[in-house]
Chain A
Amino acid sequence: MEWWGQAISMAASIALAPLLVGLSQTTKARIQGRMGPSVFQAYRILWKTWHKETTVPQDSSWIFRLAPSVNVATMLVIVTMLPWTGKLPSSWPHNALVLFFLLAVERFWSALAGMDSAGAFGGLGASRVSTVGSGIEPALLAAFGVLWAVSGHTAIAPLAPWLRHQALGILPWILAASSYVLVLLAETGRLPVDNPDTHLELTMMHEATVLEYNGRFLAEQQMAGALKFTALIGLGWIYLGPVMSSVWANLFMRVGELAVTSMALGWAESRFVKLRYFQLPTYFAMATGVGLLAFYLVASGSVS
């Protein structure tokens, strides 16, 4: 049962990942008063780029060629690790710390590929992505601080039953959730940290590292981005959301949550302006601080 549930949810999250990106883009277009593309546009773009000619810039090495594969494989492993249905086969790896370090692998290779493209944009993107990454890492740990404080596990799955049995308290929950949302926006390259739609050298971050990519490699990068989006939204719901007892109910609930959240993110993105790059440390300090505060409330027993 668990194996089936996990296999189906893995397949579903991979298949639905571009749809979520499409959903957020369409929502964003509608909010801005445009018709926008169909929600299935992301699939068409993937198909199109995959079948285009693939070239690499002069002076680049195997790092540039391998980086998209590393990124997509890392994201696939993360999607595989998440306990989508609330129940996992025993002996299944589902450790939150491993997940964070896998995100770092993706960041490392994106930045390396940016440096390898030997242009100004690649280096610019690499620098920005790494700088933002160094803010994300502690904020992510802080957002999960409540988890360690109460469950004592770094595994993701045992958390869900815990949430059912023992109330976290509404205030720490809100704080942890806000901290996580701030991190989610940063890590998936959304406004107010990064703008996924921009190609202006002043503002682009992740886009600059993939600027020199085309064809199959670009398709892989886009797929990796979509998977990351899916995985991080999913992780948030698994971490802080409700859990049903049945595997199937959980599965359907996750799909609904993912769809709603990606639309909500599309809406939120139209409401923010991008932060100045040098204000980002404050942003991450806030995310970290909020997570620490939630931890402090739970650890000190101020809120039961």
Chain B
Amino acid sequence: MTSNRPMRDEYDVAVIGAGPAGLAAASLSAQSGLSTLLLDENQGPGGQVWRAVTSTPLKQTRLLGDDYWAGSKLVEEVRASGAEILQGATVWSLDPHLELGISVGGGSQFIRARRVILATGALERPFPIPGWTLPGVMTAGAAQTVLKSSGLVPSGKTVVAGQGPLFWLLTAQILRMGGQIDLILDTTQRLNYLRALPHAAAFLRSPYLLKGLAMMREVRSKVRVVSGVTKIAASGDGRLERVTYEVRGRSATAPADLLLLHQGVVPNVNLAMSAGVKHQWDEIQLCWVPVLDSNCGTSVDGIAIAGDGAGIAGVLAAVARGRIAARAAVEALKPEAGAKAPSMDTLRAALAKVERGRRFLDVLFQPPKQFRIPEGDTVVCRCEEVTAQDILDSVAIGATGPNQLKAYRRTGMGPCQGRLCGLTVTELMADARGKTPEEIGYYRLRAPVKPITLSELASLPKDESATKAVVRG
């Protein structure tokens, strides 16, 4: 059922995020008879990959493809499962005792859960090129979001730049919808084709291979694709006017009203890290991933992570991991109900199958250093408007890592809380100091992980001891 605020104070399982992993987890958990709350920040279920699957104006199956519509089946499943579904709900705190702070409709409250499954997914890797803060520069995912949820397609001169499997999916979708793309700048490193070769055998059996190749062919037949791009800069007076790029040392410029950037996705770590979940640097995916056991359990007892937040593996793996995390919760809380659900061995085999060939994609689409570690006056922290050179200057006078850097430059202290600069800051400081990203570390994240107003905090229900702690007399 869909509700407007949590109907209880305590649940067996709270699932955060209604994308593929969260839908699968909530569904299996509720079907097993556990009281289940599914929380999601958007107005409808689906997450990013199935965004607006219940409300999109693009009703024709062909336009978004069968893989998109597969999401509606899982939405129906969770709606029939008995899970309580809360849309438009922002989870702004999660502590190691499994208490969640939830903001919905401008008011906040706390609930408790016996198990928490984080399915907060991924976000697009920062793409800090000169001019990336100009109006008219967006992520490719942003264009995909407005396409799915509002049927908006690019109409002016449009350049798409970057790489990765989603990059080709998005360009194909825009073109099918009659959107305009004038130029595609492919930043895949030529060297990566060789480096990925040892992993090619596994990828040949991946469900993504044929779809990917067909999509690339479709796009290449309609739009000019420039490969081997090693530099990109956006420029214009108060808004984007042109994109300058370099191939084999030769520079070219294209006029542009819209530049869509994408170089892969990375786990959205904010809520998990703020709950104290241990993460480590992934040398291949070049991002932080949580340390997980084979049940998707984290270093914090009772908290599991499923979906791309557990390490990027795509939609099919997200569904499989969601079921594994939920099955583990059922085994812990209500083992007798487990007989109805698929066995853990079956679920793990399903995950192994869809993870096949992932390493090939990870290596092939590992983004080049110059697009991860910017230089000079390129903005790194969009919120506080801090440049790469500002950060290097701070390192030169003693800033050792991202947390010290906050005191020097306020990086990561703006409203996005490091989501758009964190990885860049870690890699930039590691590079400047000759350390590994693991040694440099990441921002220490704390609740509230999304900004909420002071009045919302103040109107939270208080017990007597909390009042006595601050009121005199």
A interacts with B: no
Binding site for A on B (CB under 8 A): none
Binding site for B on A (CB under 8 A): none
